[in-house]
Amino acid sequence: MKKYIAHDGINGEREDFEQIEDARTYLTGQFLDPHEGYHPDLGSCCIYELKEIVTHEIIDSKENYKYIYEEDIPEDDDESEAWPYSTDHEEIWKHHFAPPSSNSDKEKEKCYISGKITGLGLEVAKQNFHNAAVYVRSRGYEAVNPMELTPINDSFTWHDYMREDIRLLCDCGSIFMQENYNESKGAKIELEIAKSINLKIIYG
């Protein structure tokens, strides 16, 4: 985000600049006429320095809930919660003031992909995880796909893979649960770990 705002009061225009020297050059070109001298309204030109902007963080999202309405939760499900806010809202924001920064400098939150692997063909599982990663990236996250990051090792046991995947999970800020996660012992363990370390949970 550019730091200096050059306000051209003569023409009712403004431009944003990274450097104050560029803002000064812009304004000088607006009010200085080489034939007539300075414009009489040059006092209406000024440079503002941007100190703070209003930004927000998402503190809750419908994606974190498997059910929107209480009546949709099965009677034997004692763990799930319904969306506690108005159904008109997709997300709940908390606003605050912050120093200006470039969007390109903002690090994307990492989101771990979880789902069933054991019992599926390798190519089917890879495709499922790939599709989930594409969706997660479309939501603005950096996708952490264990099927790409944990190499296949013939000497690995199920427990070895779980140790590697949990290391990846603990470096993330959120977890995406594929629809088939309930069919996977490992995915259910990952979900419990995610809850215990307060990760954002997104259900597919």
Residue 185 phi, psi (nearest 5)? -60, -45
Residue 129 phi, psi (nearest 5)? -70, -35
- Residue 166: exposure state from Cβ atoms within 10 A (0-12, 13-18, ≥19): middle
**pTM value surpassing 0.75:** no
The pLDDT value recorded for residue 105 is 41
The pLDDT value recorded for residue 23 is 85
The pLDDT value recorded for residue 102 is 47
Quick: pLDDT tens for 180-202: 999 999 999 999 999 999 999 99
Q: What is the 3-state secondary structure (H, E, C) of 140-196?
A: CCEEECHHHHCCCCCCCCHHHHHHHHHHHHCCCCEEEECHHHHHCHHHHHHHHHHHH
The pLDDT value recorded for residue 33 is 54
Cα–Cα dist 203/62, whole Å:
9
The pLDDT value recorded for residue 106 is 44
**Cβ atoms within 10 Å of 178's Cβ, excluding its own:** 21
The pLDDT value recorded for residue 103 is 44
Residue ranges for the chain with pLDDT beneath 70: 1-2, 30-43, 101-107
The pLDDT value recorded for residue 15 is 85
Please report, for the chain, the start and end positions of each structural domain, with discontinuous segments joined by +.
4-49, 107-203
Q: Which CATH architecture has domain 107-203?
A: 3-Layer(aba) Sandwich (3.40)
The pLDDT value recorded for residue 32 is 58
The pLDDT value recorded for residue 43 is 67
